[in-house]
Amino acid sequence: MQFQKLASLFFVSTIFLSSSFAQEVDEKILSQDRLDIIDFSKKQNEENSSKLRKDWINPVTLSYKKDYTETYDTARSMISINQPIFKSGGIYSAIKYANVNYKYNDLDIETQRKELIKQVTTLLFNLHIIDLNIKKNEYLLKNANIDIQRKKEQVFNGFLDTSYLDNAILDANSVKNALADLYFQKKELENNFNNLASKEYKEFELPKLALTNKENFLENSLKLAKAKVDVKQKDYLASMSMSQYLPTFSVSMDYSHYHDTDENPSINDETTTNYGVSVSMPLDVRALNDVEAQRIEYLKAKLNLNNIILEEQNFYKTKLSKIDMIERKKEIAKEDYKLYDSLLKIIVEEKNAQLKTQSDVDTLANSQKIKSLEVQILELQKQIELLEIYSKII
C-alpha cells in the first residue's frame, strides 16, 4: 500500500505545483536590452508621427548674402515664407493620416513585443516539457532495466531464448539514446532562451493562461486592429492624393535687411518686406491615374480586412480544436493513471502474499508516475496553444 500512497502523493503534488504557477505572462521575462529596444521603437514612432503631422508646414528660409564690387561691398540677410493654408482638404487629411499612421506603427510595435514574449515563454514551457520528458524516460529506463533483469533470469532458467533478452537490451538502449537526445535538446533550448530572457529559466514561474472566448479574441485581435487602421490610412492617402491636384491657397512673405552698405546710393531702403497671396493648381495628365491607383489601394485594404477577419476566425477555431484534442489526451492519461492505481493495489497485495515480486510492484509504480508526467506535459502543451492566442490580442 505504501507504493500506492507514494504514487498518489506524486500525482497530487504535481497538480498542486501546476496550479501554484497561476499568473499572467510578464514582459519582464525579456532581457533589459530587448525591452529597451521596444521602448526606443515607441519613442521613435512618437517622433516620426509628430514630424508627419507637421509635414504640411513649409520651412522658413533664412539666407545671408555678401556682394563684393570695386565700388561698394553690401551684405543682405533675408527671411522667406511660402505657406499653403488651404489645400482642398489635403491638410486635414494629412493630419488625420499622421494620427492613424502613429496608431498603425504602435500596433506593429505591440505585435513585435507580443511575438518576442511568445517566443521566450514558449521556450520556457518547452524547457519544462523537456525536464518532464527526461524524468519520464528515466522511469522508462528503470522499467527497461527491470525487464532486462527479468529476461536474464528467464533465459538462464531456460524459460526463454536469448532473442527476448536481446530485444529487452535494445529497448533499454533506445531509451538511453532518447535521453541523450533530450539532454542535447535541453541545452539547445537553454541557449535560445538565454538569447531573449533576463534570467535563467529555473528562476521563472510558469504562467497559467485561460482561454478567451471568440468574441473577445476578435474584438482585441492585433492583426484585425492593424487591418482596420490600414483601411483608414489608405482612405486618407486617397484624399491627400486627390487634393494635390486641386486648388491650393498660399500666403508668402519676404523680409530683407541690408548690412554694411558702404552708403551705396542704389539702396533706398535698408529694410523691405513683401507680402503675397497665391492660388495654384497643377494640370497633370497623370492626375486621374494617380487618384484612381490610390482609390484602388483603399478598396484592396477593405477586402484585405475581410480576409483577415476570416483568417482570425479560422485561427481561433483551429486552436480550439487543438486544445480539445490535448484535453482528450489528458483524460486518457488520467484514466490510465487510475487504472495503474487500481492495478498497483492488487499487485502490492499479491506481493505481500508472495505471489508477485518487488520488480512487478516497481514496474507498475514507475508506469503510474510516467502517466502522471504525461498529464503534466499535455497541460504545458495546452498552455503553449493558449499562449499562441494570447500573443495575437491586445
DSSP string for 276-327: EEEEE----TTHHHHHHHHHHHHHHHHHHHHHHHHHHHHHHHHHHHHHHHHH
- Please give the Cα distance from 25 to 207 (Å, whole number): 6
Nearby residues of 274 by Cβ (< 8 Å), 6 or more positions away: 252, 253, 254, 255
Cα–Cα separations (whole angstroms), residue 79 to 58, 191, 272: 13, 60, 11
Confidence of residue 65 (pLDDT cuts 50, 70, 90): confident
pLDDT higher than 70, residue 260: no
Total Cβ atoms within 10 A of residue 67? 11
What pLDDT is recorded for position 264?
A: 58
What pLDDT is recorded for position 266?
A: 59
The Cα angle at residue 79 between residues 74 and 80, in degrees rounded to 5? 125
pLDDT higher than 80, residue 90: yes
User: Scanning the structure block, which residue is given the C-alpha cell 492660388?
Assistant: 279
Judge whether 21 and 208 are in contact, CB under 8 Å. Answer: yes
What pLDDT is recorded for position 88?
A: 86
- Per DSSP, the three-state class of 275 is strand
Q: List the single range of 8-17, 118-127, 284-293 with lowest mean pLDDT.
A: 8-17
Confidence of residue 122 (pLDDT cuts 50, 70, 90): very high
DSSP string for 52-67: HHTTTSPPPEEEEEEE
- Per the DSSP assignment, residues forming a β-bridge with 248 are 280
Confidence of residue 263 (pLDDT cuts 50, 70, 90): low
What is the Rg, in whole angstroms, of the alpha carbon atoms belonging to the chain?
37
- Please give the Cα distance from 13 to 46 (Å, whole number): 50
Judge whether 64 and 58 are in contact, CB under 8 Å. Answer: no
Residue boundaries of the structural domains of the chain: 2-390
Confidence of residue 267 (pLDDT cuts 50, 70, 90): low
Cα–Cα separations (whole angstroms), residue 348 to 62, 120, 150, 217, 284: 97, 45, 18, 51, 94
Cell of 16: 498542486
Question: Tens of pLDDT along 43-57?
Answer: 999 999 999 999 989
pLDDT higher than 60, residue 4: no
Selected from 3.40.50.720, 1.20.1600.10, 1.20.1250.20, 3.90.1150.180, the CATH number assigned to the domain covering 2-390 reads 1.20.1600.10
- Per the DSSP assignment, residues forming a β-bridge with 253 are 81, 275
pLDDT higher than 80, residue 387: yes
What pLDDT is recorded for position 25?
A: 84
Question: Tens of pLDDT along 232-245?
Answer: 999 999 999 999 99
Reduced 3-state DSSP string for 169-233 = HHHHHHHHHHHHHHHHHHHHHHHHHHHHECCCHHHCCCCCCCCCCHHHHHHCEHHHHHHHHHHHH
- Residue range 77-93: mean pLDDT, rounded: 91
Question: Tens of pLDDT along 155-213?
Answer: 998 888 999 999 999 999 999 999 999 999 999 999 999 999 999 999 999 999 999 99
Task: Give the CB-side neighbour count of residue 91, counting CA atoms within 13 A.
Answer: 14
Percent of the chain with pLDDT over 90: 79
pLDDT higher than 60, residue 21: no
What pLDDT is recorded for position 74?
A: 76
CA dihedral 208, 214, 216, 221 (to 10 degrees): 90
- Please give the Cα distance from 100 to 92 (Å, whole number): 13
Judge whether 172 and 148 are in contact, CB under 8 Å. Answer: yes
**Residue 86 is which amino acid?**
F
Cα–Cα separations (whole angstroms), residue 268 to 213, 264, 321: 80, 9, 88
- Residue range 139-165: mean pLDDT, rounded: 93
Laid out side by side, the sheet with 61-68 consists of 61-68, 73-86, 248-259, 271-280
* Average pLDDT of the residues of the chain: 90
Q: If you count them, how many residues does the chain have?
A: 394
- Residue range 22-39: mean pLDDT, rounded: 86
What pLDDT is recorded for position 77?
A: 87
